[in-house]
Amino acid sequence: MWMQTETIVWKGRCGPFELRVGPDTFRPSTISMLLADAMEIEDRSTVIDAGCGSGILSIVAAKLGAGTVLGVDAARGTVEIATANAAAQGVGDRIRFFEGDMFDALPESAMADVVIGDVSGIPDELARVSGWFPSGLAGGPTGAELPMRMLEAARRLLHRGGKLLLPTGSLQDETSIMDKARAIFGPIRMLTEKLIPLPSALAEQPAVIRLIKDRVIRLSERGSRRLWTAHVWEMRA
């Protein structure tokens, strides 16, 4: 492999197993695990994985029975790293990876029964102070811009009756995302939600306090802890 990588362990669905990641690779998160747990993949279905990162959700989809998986991510080294991970898990023959923005790098004929959108995003300011996302891969000023752009593009890739699985959270302008999702897809269904503690040092950052004051993000309290809420939604074409 042409770039320096390191090994991490995926402990979510179908795991545990090792994954290789590069310096620009988005690493599986709590949201990735939540989305993996919510996935229902029919045998031999076609899946498109947006923001595939290390390829983990593509690998899980293949292990759950998908016949073809197309993963795409803008991060440098996506194709080499994710392809190696898929091969190591014995599903490389059913998965192809592409490096590019959103869905632009996919073949023009690409259509899917399921689109997985692990592009929940957080505001750029929060990404900067948290270090959770590689540079340039956050969600925009409110954290909603990237997933809202994905909603419009994903609808065109779905077969009739196909579904989009999209995570969102209260660490972004979730209301705007949901309003746009309903405008594009109609009724949507919440598959799961989870309360996740926000580190105290991060909750006290001036950027986070400002985002709360501006009602971009929302936190709840449980004792001395501040928590945010993650959701996974299903939308049908």
Mind listing the pLDDT tens digit for each residue in 21-78? 999 898 899 999 999 999 999 999 999 999 999 999 999 999 999 999 999 999 999 9
Domains in the chain: boundaries: 6-236
Please provide the size of the chain in residues: 237
Task: Report CA-CA distances (Å) from 143 to 48, 134, 170, 175, 183.
Answer: 22, 14, 10, 11, 19
Determine which helix (DSSP H) or strand (DSSP E) holds 195, and give its type and residue range: strand 188-198
DSSP state, residue 93: G
Q: Which tens digits make up the pLDDT trace of 162-204? A: 999 999 999 999 999 999 999 999 999 999 999 999 999 999 9
Mean pLDDT of the chain: 93
55 contacts: CB under 8 Å, gap ≥ 6: 19, 49, 71, 81, 82, 83, 85, 86, 95, 97
Q: Is the pLDDT score of 83 beyond 70?
A: yes
Selected residue with higher pLDDT from 85 and 137: 85
Decide: pTM greater than 0.95. Answer: no
* Class of domain 6-236 as given by CATH: alpha beta
Share of the chain above pLDDT 90, in %: 82
Q: Is the pLDDT score of 160 beyond 90?
A: yes
- Strand pairing category for 225-236 and 188-198: antiparallel
**Confidence (pLDDT) at 156:** 94
Q: Confidence band (pLDDT; 50, 70, 90) for 133?
A: low
